[in-house]
Structure 1
């Protein structure tokens, strides 16, 4: 029995197994990055947010698209010759192709929104924050319109998969997909470059700045995938020509999700790097036991409050003199307790993003070593 159902020639040439392998492998890799992100955000630094929920939503879209694509290969996707596609397969072939489109569109929207909402964690109030919110709204509107047109590409809708329907009309596929892919590229570039002005102006170490810029620039690889995908769109002439398009679509949404997750894994890399080198200098004098809680207090990137500081994701925090909340925060504060915090030793160096004394913006201040004492009120 061949790979494709109902084929007269069991050895009919097909790339169905290759499509299946690529989709399955990329979906598993993206799932691993999602698990790592959940571990970092929910357990290590306890700074779970909207962007993390969007990542879970995006992976569901990626997995749904991969599953439908793999099933579709059994009905003919990947066959190299049109005459090898059995007529009885056309209905299911077209139906699964129609079902996969909403999963693809929601997944490419999801990873863009995850990145944009993660930017809001460190972009303070002002023009750049407003522009980021504007990009979020524009992305939602564009992908929603893409989805609505896609699911209503033909009238009646069933004309997209039912060959027995002889009356009706469809929008020309090649011009539509080409224009949508072109606009998607524009949004990819805008989303990936959105944080650059803020990071370039930030007052953090040049090495850290370059690392952050490099991590966000990884997203430009998605643009390359889109350019390749456009070339496959131009080759659409029959049912089987959609195989390269669908394959690159699966590559695109999974890589987009991986790119959205990679920057959030820095605390995990830092923590295990310190453990492997035996560098515990940052752990002494913090008032916390060595472990994930300590890592969370030192590397968390939390939300901004209306007052211009930050809102800690867990417990209560200590405000510095300039109104910014220190990255090292007090965990599980007991009701009715008072806290005193002070730096007891260190090199007095800090990493400040958009320090208000220089840019008239609220900042994030990282204090390396802090001693916390708690005095219960009578």
Structure 2
């Protein structure tokens, strides 16, 4: 028995297994990244926000789209020749494809919104912040419009998967619609990815760190490359059953979008294990409990703290003030890029020498 249901030739060439494998692998990879993000936000820095909640919902939609796409391969998605698609499969093929559209549109909206809301964590009050909020509104309106039109391409809606000639009605030309939407989606991707660059470029931090930040946020431009490939697939569509290329790259796009949107949030995890590794190399007796305290509460210990150069406050007063700052919900992560100035870090190590015999 071949991969596709009801085919006359059981060995009809298909990339259905490849599509299913890629969807499964990317969905698993994005799930791992999202779990690490949630761990960092909840356990390490206690700064879980709306951007984290949105990325979780986006991943759920990615998983839904991957499941629907994998099911669709059993009804003909991935066949190398449209002529191999059995007539009796067309109804289910179209119905499953219709079910996948809301998952796709919602997932790409989700990772863009997550990025935009994460920018608000460090955007200063003023024109940049207002512009970011305006872009959020625009992105939501665009994708909702996309979804509404996508669901109502045909009137009646049933005509999108039911080829019964007695049904009547009409459909919008799919190729021009998909091409226009894909082009606008590329534009929205570029806007979302470039929004934080003006603020990042103005930061008074080390050039190396600035380049790292720019690189992390610039990873999203890779999604634009996928969109361009997807447009080429759209232009080659003969009819709605000829959607293998478009559907495949859609599954790649939304999962990579979730991963790209989450990578910058993993910096505290990378930094913690990097410092822990360095400390272990320098001092093998470093207690594991102390390392865990550093991960779960980096600003709640007197062993290490940041102070402005030239500060005249004593240690206890400064720490009380800083912990009060934290208690108000204004964590280091919430303002990770807003502290512009020169700081120094003081590490206090207490050791005890055994008394001489």
SS in 2 for 1:114: helix
Measure the CA separation in 2 of the matches of 1:370 and 1:150: 58
Shift of 1:149: 0.3
* Structure 2: runs of 5 or more not aligned: 283-288, 312-317, 328-334, 349-357
Greater mean alpha carbon deviation, residues 230-239 or residues 100-109: 230-239
Q: Distance in 2 between matches of 1:110 and 1:18?
A: 26
- 111 and 236 in structure 1: CA distance in 2 versus 1, 3 angstrom threshold: same
SS at match of 2:5: coil
**Contact map agreement 1:115 1:191 (CA 8 A) in 2:** yes
The structure that is helix-richer by fraction is 2
The structure-2 alpha-carbon separation of the partners of 1:210 and 1:279, relative to structure 1 and needing over 3 Å to count, comes to farther
Indicate conservation of the 8 Å contact 2:20/2:70, yes or no.
Answer: yes
Pairwise CA distance, 1:232:
0.3
Q: Does 1:64 align with 2:64?
A: yes
135-144 vs 159-168, greater mean Cα deviation: 159-168
Q: Which residue of 2 aligns with 1:134?
A: 134
Does the 8 Å CA contact 1:352/1:365 hold for their aligned counterparts? Answer: no
Residue 90 of structure 1, CA deviation: 0.6
Report if aligned partners of 1:159, 1:165 keep a CA contact under 8 Å in 2.
no
Q: Are 2:277 and 1:276 equivalent residues in the alignment?
A: yes
Change (3 A) 1:296 1:212: farther
Q: In structure 2, do the counterparts of structure 1 residues 226 and 208 end up closer, same or farther at CA, with 3 Å as the change threshold?
A: same
- What's the CA shift string for 1:206-261, capped at 9, x where partnerless? 11111000001110000000000000000111244200100000010011110001
Say yes or no: does 1:251 pair with 2:228.
Answer: no
- Cα deviation for residue 368 of structure 1 reads 3.0
Instruction: Give per-residue Cα distances to partners, 1:102-149, cap 9 Å, x unaligned.
Output: 000000000000000001001111110111101100000000000000
Q: Which string of whole-angstrom CA distances, capped at 9 and with x for unpartnered residues, describes residues 58-94 of structure 1?
A: 0001000000000000011011122211111111000
Aligned residues of 2:306 and 2:346 also touching (Cα < 8 A): no
- Name the CA shift for 1:223/1:206 in 2 (closer, same or farther; >3 Å): same
Change in 2 beyond 3 A, CA 1:77/1:353: closer
| Contact 1:204-1:352 within 8 A present in 2 as well | no
Ranked by relative contact order (alpha carbons within 8 Å, sequence separation 6 or more), the top structure is: 2
* 1:352 to 1:258, Cα distance in 2 relative to 1, 3 A: closer
Aligned counterparts of 2:47 and 2:343: Cα–Cα separation in 1: 16
Conserved 8 A contact 2:94-2:241: no
In 1: Cα distance, 2:298 partner to 2:120 partner:
19
Aligned residues: 321
C-alpha distance in 1, partners of 2:256/2:30? 7
Partner of 2:315: none
Residue 262 of structure 1 pairs with residue 255 of structure 2: no
SS in 2 for 1:125: coil
Does the CA contact (< 8 Å) of 1:43 and 1:292 recur in 2? no
Q: How does 1:106-121 map to 2 (within 5 A)?
A: 106-121=106-121
Aligned in 2, Cα 1:366/1:243: closer, same or farther, shift over 3 Å?
Answer: farther
CA distance in 2, matches of 1:21, 1:187: 29
- Encode CA deviations 1:25-56: one digit per residue, 9 max, x unaligned: 11000001001101101111110000000110
Where does 1:72-83 land on structure 2 (aligned, <5 Å)?
72-83=72-83
Structure 1's 224 and 27: CA in aligned 2 closer, same or farther, altered over 3 A? same
* Partners of 1:80 and 1:240 within 8 A in 2: no
Which residue number corresponds to residue 330 of structure 1?
323
Distance 1:42 1:329, change over 3 A: farther
Residue 275 (structure 1) shift: 1.5
Question: Secondary structure, in 3 states, of the residue corresponding to 2:236?
Answer: coil
Scaled by the length of structure 1, the TM-score of the pair is: 0.79
Indicate if the aligned counterparts of 1:203 and 1:353 stay in contact, CA closer than 8 A. no
Q: CA deviation at 1:318?
A: 11
Superposition RMSD on alpha carbons, in Å?
2.9
Comparing 50-59 with 290-299, greater Cα deviation is found at: 290-299
Q: Residue 291 of structure 1: SS of its match in structure 2?
A: helix
1:181 lines up with 2:175 in the alignment? no
Alpha-carbon distance in structure 2 between the residues aligned to 1:237 and 1:219: 31
Cα–Cα, structure 1 residues 299 and 123, in superposed 2: closer, same or farther, change >3 Å?
farther
User: Counterpart of 1:168?
Assistant: 169
The answer to whether the 8 A contact 2:306-2:344 is kept is no
1:196 equivalenced with 2:197 (yes/no) = yes
Q: What SS does structure 2 have at the residue aligned with 1:123?
A: coil
Give structure 1 stretches of 5+ with no counterpart. 282-288, 301-316, 335-350, 356-362, 372-378
CA distance in 2, matches of 1:60, 1:352: 28
